[in-house]
């Protein structure tokens, strides 16, 4: 799969960061890089952040956030969607699993 356009895809340096929502648990490690544990897709301790960085040729200065899909959906709703301007919101994601 083509991830982020590959090395050199942003020659003007406009890329601010990369965010990815995944089904399952995204373990943020203190030494850097998220490990993903996603039983529904057969992943156990997949170093997704490192894999994405390598595939896209991203330098360390470009932040990469890997987190649970329900959390990223909730944050997007608060910033840009139905939760915009609200202090609190409840977001529920139903799929092959349930996230909140």
Please name which of 2, 10, 5, 97 lies closest in space to residue 61, comparing C-alpha atoms: 10
- Stated pTM of the model: 0.75
Q: What whole-number distance in Å separates Cα of residue 19 and Cα of residue 46?
A: 16
Kindly give, in sequence order, each residue whose CB lies less than 8 Å from that of residue 98, ignoring residues fewer than 6 positions away: 92
For 34-75, how does the pLDDT look when each residue is reduced to its tens digit (9 = 90+)?
999 998 899 999 999 999 989 988 888 889 999 999 999 999
- Quick one: pLDDT at residue 10? 58
Helix H or strand E segment including 38: strand 34-38
Q: Are strands 18-22 and 64-68 parallel, antiparallel or unpaired?
A: parallel
Write down the domain spans for the chain. Answer: 18-99
Q: What is the mean pLDDT of residues 8-18?
A: 72
């Amino acid at each position: 799969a083509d991830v982020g356009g590959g090395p050199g895809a942003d020659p003007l340096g406009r890329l601010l960061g990369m965010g990815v929502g995944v089904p399952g648990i995204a373990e943020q490690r203190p030494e850097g890089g998220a490990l993903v544990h996603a039983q529904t897709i057969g992943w156990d301790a997949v170093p997704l952040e490192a894999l994405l960085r390598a595939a896209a040729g991203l330098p360390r200065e470009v932040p990469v956030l890997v987190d649970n899909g329900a959390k990223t959906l909730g944050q997007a709703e608060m910033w840009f969607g139905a939760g915009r301007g609200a202090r609190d919101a409840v977001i529920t994601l139903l799929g092959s699993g349930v996230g909140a």
